[in-house]
């Protein structure tokens, strides 16, 4: 795997290079966004570690340029810890964010997670019977569900609910609709039954089930999977 490290601090680049080469990765180095874009055009890059604050072209502008044509995973680096930097970076297309100074082991773990997700989703996207949104993907042929590359195990009923909502990401389904489509029978006071399954699905696919990223309630109407 080829990883591009883009940072104007040579000490940080060299330190990251040592850790990544020990893991068997091939490293490409850039000191600003312009150099990074040139390397991406001339080489097969599988992941980018991108600093935010750099001369000539910063990491935010470079990420915007990258996202115009490529879906390479981008992990942003910043010496700042403000949430605004993180939000801007993620909104512009970054896949993850880590603040300096960072634990090298944490960086390696994040890199492996993003590469695993990119590889799995890349192979899934070539299939027609795959439903995905954000980092959530359902391969209906193999019945495999992944979240950020990690396989999730659901019961058959939970699978049917999640597939229904994910295949129609962004659409709100009423509780009656969910019950009738999944159980194939007329709904009769199905609120508790559906709610229990929704809660269990959230516990398996969400980082924080109380603040779900994917499976959301639309109060007074029903449930939906967010279109990301």
Burial class (CB in 10 A: 0-12, 13-18, 19+), 65: middle
Res 198: pLDDT = 95
- The answer to whether residues 36 and 113 belong to one domain is yes
How far is it, in rounded angstroms, from Cα 228 to Cα 91? 11
- The answer to whether residues 31 and 111 belong to one domain is yes
CATH of the domain at 151: 1.10.10.10
Whether the Cβ atoms of residue 20 and residue 32 lie closer than 8 Å to each other: no
How far is it, in rounded angstroms, from Cα 213 to Cα 223? 13
- The answer to whether residues 117 and 145 belong to one domain is no
* Domain final residue pick, 124, 145, 166: 124
pLDDT one-digit tens code per residue, 183-205: 988 767 677 889 999 999 999 99
- The answer to whether residues 28 and 42 belong to one domain is yes
How far is it, in rounded angstroms, from Cα 26 to Cα 185? 56
- The answer to whether residues 158 and 216 belong to one domain is yes
Long-range contact list for 168-172, CB < 8 A, 24+ apart?
Answer: 168/225, 169/131, 169/133, 169/224, 169/225, 169/226, 169/227, 169/228, 170/224, 170/225, 170/226, 170/227, 171/224, 172/218, 172/221, 172/222, 172/223, 172/224
HSE of 72 in the Cβ direction (CA atoms, 13 Å)? 28
Decide which of 32 and 187 is more confident. Answer: 32
- The answer to whether residues 110 and 151 belong to one domain is no
pLDDT one-digit tens code per residue, 2-25: 999 999 888 989 999 999 998 889
Average pLDDT in the 133-137 region? Answer: 89
CATH of the domain at 14: 3.40.50.2300
Q: Pick from 95, 156, 107, 146: which is nearest to 124 by CA?
A: 146
Decide which of 48 and 184 is more confident. Answer: 48
Res 142: pLDDT = 84
- The answer to whether residues 7 and 120 belong to one domain is yes
How far is it, in rounded angstroms, from Cα 67 to Cα 86? 17
How far is it, in rounded angstroms, from Cα 93 to Cα 68? 10
- The answer to whether residues 188 and 108 belong to one domain is no
- The answer to whether residues 181 and 210 belong to one domain is yes
Q: Which residue segment(s) compose the domain that 89 sits in?
A: 2-124
Residue 174's DSSP bridge partners are 222
* Domain final residue pick, 93, 124, 155: 124
- The answer to whether residues 6 and 28 belong to one domain is yes
Res 216: pLDDT = 95
Single pTM value for the model: 0.54
Average pLDDT in the 52-74 region? Answer: 85
* Domain final residue pick, 124, 139, 163: 124
Omega cis (within 30) before 11: no
Domain count within the chain: 2
- The answer to whether residues 111 and 141 belong to one domain is no
């Amino acid at each position: 795997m080829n990883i591009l490290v883009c940072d104007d601090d040579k000490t940080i680049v060299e330190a990251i290079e040592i850790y990544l080469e020990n893991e068997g990765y091939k490293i490409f180095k850039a000191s600003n966004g312009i150099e990074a874009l040139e390397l991406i055009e001339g080489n097969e890059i599988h992941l980018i570690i991108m600093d935010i604050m750099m001369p000539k072209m910063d990491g935010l502008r470079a990420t915007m340029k990258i996202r115009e044509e490529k879906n390479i995973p981008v992990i942003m680096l910043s010496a700042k810890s403000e949430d605004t930097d993180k939000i801007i970076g993620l909104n512009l297309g970054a896949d993850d964010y880590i603040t300096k100074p960072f634990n090298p082991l944490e960086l390696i773990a994040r890199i492996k997670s993003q590469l695993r997700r990119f590889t799995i989703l890349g192979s899934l996207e070539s299939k027609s019977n795959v439903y995905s949104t954000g980092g959530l993907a359902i391969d209906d042929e193999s019945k495999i569900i992944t979240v950020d590359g990690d396989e999730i195990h659901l019961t058959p009923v939970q699978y049917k609910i999640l597939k229904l909502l994910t295949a129609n990401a962004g659409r709100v389904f009423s509780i009656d609709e969910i019950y009738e489509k999944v159980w194939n029978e007329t709904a009769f006071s199905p609120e508790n039954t559906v709610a229990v399954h929704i809660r269990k699905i959230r516990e398996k696919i969400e980082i924080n089930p109380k603040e779900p990223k994917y499976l959301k309630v639309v109060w007074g109407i029903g449930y939906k999977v967010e279109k990301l």
